[in-house]
Structure 1
């Protein structure tokens, strides 16, 4: 009797929607050539439109699955999210992935939109969007929210679109496990995967599902370069800008607090990026994965030992993102795909 074959590891990239189309196209082409399975583009407010960007990228790629990570039902109605999803899935021939979450309350406040009951709002949107894509009426679906009438249905053929929930809180992770096709959970540090996946698994169990029934990428920040110091500097600058805004709960798991990033914030206010980079400690760097290929492989292997079968790499990717993607393809992915 032989053991069952180990699951094949999949890979994805996550990038921000501040990139212009030529730059993003270069990244997408490099990702496809490197053997990356998915590319996710954020849809943060006041930047470029992710649906428009993906519409163009589908014309420039052939195998890469492209996702919006994420759309929210507060600034865009669930009906319009379903329209976007159906159209992009039709255009791409089945390569579109929809990321759905409550969104950033801070960003929504910029445009005067409240975010009441994020968990309920996300659950209702998930159920109503899924109903619309299936050719059904949200009015007939329990828990799909109020305000729908008999006329609220898509005048299109039913189409299947995988829906991933963007989640960090225990309740949102449990919702993803119970109802979604996948979950996008940012991991600071990467080893938080063990806790997050357990919460998703518990949610799946309550719904009679298994963790294996959905796609749970281990979403980490990555910076890779042949020169380890260059890689560390790129991640340090990213942490200097964003570290103070990380969840105190997640930072505490790494022995850190938001105020630890105060010196970096002060340096950036003074316009001194070099001082900001210097203020990022090795403990802070451990919130992401950075270094040369051998170092990156070791951290990724640790995630595989925790059960991760899908590794998702987010910005900065490296000092030169396109070169970093190529280095991933040449030196890392094939190694990680082999059984340890």
Structure 2
């Protein structure tokens, strides 16, 4: 079983446009098919990331589950870290978490919008990673304020040598960050253990992201591994091309050359290979919002696409 962050890992998304009660059948299909990773979103105002992750982990035997992303303006860092540590103790090595700015319009709707999203994300990442390492944290930041806070039950550290080669989540203390712009990508390199690139990212965007992440890492003096996870718009089946074109239009892309792939397993596997070559370590197939059979989609990823990557 491939660790989170191991080079060449493949996953799929359960989109929150599906009702929560659909999750169980998708998890079962993914688990039975041998899918490596299932990723969830905490989008306003659809579904909770932590609640769905806990449920998916409990319903599966081996599936690794990630939340990408949790919007930090909605969350107190102590609570987010407690939830993460609890799931990592209950399901060692099977839970990944990513933090992001949140969609600013949504944050405004709930009264959580901040003047400096980059500052908030940096403070949240630094505090959360320290708490997960078992440290006692006192900080008086612009947004994050902690007074002698330490977890009673941090995730137990696992030596890096016990992990798969190249795995970033060797100790269950890793935190990913979602990033798009140059400042956020440099921040992720400096303050996170991995970066989540959304499905709006082109192959050139992956290469540029790697460069900016490395700039942030160099400025922070970091020499540990930093993993890049890329969501890939994916459609398969008889109407795949039409559904992908509609998805790209909804996202404001030119449907003729927007980021994504439509076609059979060989076509999708080639697109995955190109993303890996561009600098991604993990590719997560993101179905269209109107995917007619999400259970079949995760089986397609595991049983048809994955063997072509080997």
Partner of 1:314: 286
C-alpha distance in 2, partners of 1:69/1:98? Answer: 6
Structure 1: gaps (5+ residues): 1-6, 245-250, 257-280
1:225-272 deviation line (CA, Å, top 9, x unaligned): 2x3xx11122233234x323xxxxxx5xxxx5xxxxxxxxxxxxxxxx
Deviation at 1:45, TM superposition (A): 2.0
Q: Tell whether 2:207 aligns with 1:194.
A: yes
More helix by share: 1
Deviation at 1:166, TM superposition (A): 0.7
Partner of 2:272: 300
Does structure 2 conserve the Cα–Cα contact (< 8 Å) formed by 1:190 and 1:218?
Answer: no
TM-score using structure 2 length = 0.84
Pairs within 5 Å for 1:1-340: 8-139=7-138, 147-150=145-148, 152-159=149-156, 160-191=172-203, 192-209=205-222, 213-225=225-237, 227=238, 230-240=239-249, 242-244=250-252, 256=254, 281-283=255-257, 286-316=258-288, 318-337=291-310
CA change 1:201–1:147 in 2 (3 A) is closer
1:273-310 deviation line (CA, Å, top 9, x unaligned): xxxxxxxx433xx3211112222222223223323332
Does structure 1 conserve the Cα–Cα contact (< 8 Å) formed by 2:39 and 2:66?
Answer: yes
C-alpha distance in 1, partners of 2:276/2:70? Answer: 29
1:133-166 deviation line (CA, Å, top 9, x unaligned): 2222221x6969653213x222324543321101
Deviation at 1:99, TM superposition (A): 1.0
Q: Quick check: which has more Rg, 1 or 2?
A: 1
Where relative contact order (Cα < 8 A, 6+ residues apart) is larger, the structure is 2
Does structure 2 conserve the Cα–Cα contact (< 8 Å) formed by 1:16 and 1:43?
Answer: no
Does structure 2 conserve the Cα–Cα contact (< 8 Å) formed by 1:138 and 1:144?
Answer: no
Deviation at 1:216, TM superposition (A): 0.6
Task: Give the root-mean-square deviation of aligned CA atoms.
Answer: 2.4
Deviation at 1:316, TM superposition (A): 1.8
C-alpha distance in 1, partners of 2:29/2:119? Answer: 39
Does structure 1 conserve the Cα–Cα contact (< 8 Å) formed by 2:69 and 2:99?
Answer: yes
CA change 1:105–1:146 in 2 (3 A) is closer
TM-score using structure 1 length = 0.77
**Number of aligned positions between the proteins:** 288
C-alpha distance in 2, partners of 1:223/1:162? Answer: 31
